[in-house]
Amino acid sequence: MSLLLSPLDALALRLGLSPESELLALAVTHSSYAAEHDCESNERLEFLGDAVVDLAIADLIVHEYPGLNEGASSVLRSRVVNEDSLAGAATRLELASYMRIGRGVAKEHGLERPSILADAFEAVVAALYLERGYEAARSFVQGALADDVTRASSAPDTLDAKTRLRQWSEAAGLGVPVYTVVASGPSHDTTFDATVSVGAALRATGRGRSKKRAETEAAEAAWEGLIDA
C-alpha cells in the first residue's frame, strides 16, 4: 500500500525537514488564519528569518565579491534582500499553495501580495535554521537567491533610490531626508503611506505593503522629481 504525502509533507521533504515539522506548519500560518483559529502565526519566525537571510546573503557577497567595499556590498545586499526578491523566491518554491490564510485574505486574493509571500519565505528560512542549523539555512537561501545576486551585481545602477536621494541631499547641504510613515488597514492587510522631505526643497510620497517598500517608493518619486525639474 502506498502512502500519499500531504502538500506540506512534500514541502518538508524538499527542504530536508521532518514531515511532522511543527515549525514548518507554523511558518506557513499567516496572521489572518491565526486570528480566525486562535493560534500562533508565523510573525516571530519571520523576524528571525529576516536576520538569517540578511546574514546568508552578506556571507555570499563577502566570499563571491571580494572587491566590493562595505558601501557597495550593503547596496548589493539591499537590492537582493527586499520584498520583491523574496516574494519571487517564495513563488519559485510555490509557497502560496502551502499557506494557511484567513477567509478575508483569501477572498481578496491575498496570496498574490508580495509582502505575504516574502514574509512566508523568511519564516520558512527560520524553520530550517531552527531545525537543521545555520549551514542548511545558508545553503538554502543562497541557492534560492543566487540568480538575484548575480543580476543585482551586474545592473548598471549601483545605488538604490534612498541612497541616491541621501547623497544628493547631503551634497546640497540639506541634511538627510526625513521619512514619516503612516499605516492603515487591518493587521492582515496593512498599507503604508510614506512621505519624504528634504529640507523645504523637496517632498514626495509613496505607498507599499511594507514600511520599507513605501519609503523606497517615496524616495523614487522624489528622485524622479529632481530629474524632471
* Residues annotated as catalytic (active site), given as ranges: 50, 122
HSE (CB half, 13 Å, CA atoms) of 88?
A: 13
The dihedrals phi and psi of 136, each to the nearest 5 degrees, come to -65, -40
Spatial contact of 80 and 74, defined as CB atoms under 8 Å apart: no
Residue ranges of alpha helices (H) inside the chain are 7-15, 22-27, 31-37, 43-64, 70-80, 83-92, 103-107, 114-132, 134-154, 161-171, 211-228
Three cell numbers written together for 166: 541621501
Spatial contact of 109 and 49, defined as CB atoms under 8 Å apart: no
Q: Which residue has the cell 510573525?
A: 43
Spatial contact of 123 and 49, defined as CB atoms under 8 Å apart: yes
Q: Which residue has the cell 507554523?
A: 26
The dihedrals phi and psi of 99, each to the nearest 5 degrees, come to -70, 145
Neighbours of 63 (CB within 10 A): 9
CA distance 135 to 19: 20
